[in-house]
Amino acid sequence: MKLKLALSALLKLLAGFIMILLLIFLPAGDIKFFGGWLFVVLLFVPATIIGIVLMIKNPELLKKRLNSKEKENEQKFVVVLSLFMFMAGFVVAGLDYRFSWLVLPKWITIVASVVFLLSYVLYAEVMRENAYLSRTVEIQADQKVIDTGLYGIVRHPMYLATILMFLSVPLILGSLFSFFIFLIYPITIALRIKNEEKVLTEGLSGYKEYKEKVKYRIFPFIW
């Protein structure tokens, strides 16, 4: 079972790696695109480490994270919209590099890289706290409401981590035009949360009380 799970994780990692390379470097027209390689390293090195740790310590959670087949129709729309956003964002970043539409200062890339890594740390902490963290919206067997740690501050800390992560991506790639495309991502997350909280409120015991206890969805004191 573990071997099958490891192979599945490896294949998904390789497929993602190849897709990212094609989406960034083909439009860039230059294999020497530094921002592109920086992003690839920042994305896949931590992802590989987290995958190995989960494989050893919590293979069941890794299995849940690999499953991306949504059951809710609303979530299928969000997934498709997000996919087109990512593809367009990476292609525009590559074209921005090729044609030098707008060159961002290096310090922006540095700051964005730091934010990206910090968001990965936040991502890992959320996975440590929540063993029910599936990639799809669903109620799992014996699932309980998590209301400690980061979940005692906001109801969806994983989405906070991914918003920080994905909004830093186009800046690592040095593209302001791509950043405007990636601004669609928080909107897709808002749509996802609306449906997700409906499902959890109706199907997960104690979630309604949890919403009353923890007021903010993603951003403390804001929303």
Q: The domain that contains 20 carries what CATH number? A: 1.20.120.1630
Residue 113 has pLDDT above 70, yes or no: yes
Question: At which residue do the structure tokens 């593809």 appear?
Answer: 87
Provide the CB-side half-sphere exposure for 12 (13 A, CA).
15
Q: What is the DSSP letter of 138?
A: -
Q: In whole angstroms, what is the distance from residue 92 CA to residue 105 CA? A: 18
Domain presence at residue 218:
no
Residue 198 has pLDDT above 60, yes or no: yes
Structural domain including 181 reads 2-213
Domain presence at residue 8:
yes
Are 102 and 177 in contact by the 8 Å Cβ rule? The answer is yes
Domain presence at residue 209:
yes
Read off the pLDDT band of 126 (50, 70, 90): confident
Q: What pLDDT, on a 0 to 100 scale, did the predictor assign at position 139?
A: 62
Read off the pLDDT band of 207 (50, 70, 90): confident
Domain presence at residue 220:
no
* pLDDT one-digit tens code per residue, 40-65: 999 999 888 888 887 888 777 777 66
Read off the pLDDT band of 133 (50, 70, 90): low
Q: What is the mean pLDDT of residues 127-145?
A: 68
Domain presence at residue 207:
yes
Are 183 and 167 in contact by the 8 Å Cβ rule? The answer is yes
* Nearest residue to 196 via CA among 21, 28, 72, 26: 72
Domain presence at residue 105:
yes
In this prediction the pTM is: 0.86
Domain presence at residue 221:
no
Q: In whole angstroms, what is the distance from residue 22 CA to residue 202 CA? A: 42
Domain presence at residue 223:
no
Q: How many domains does the chain fold into?
A: 1
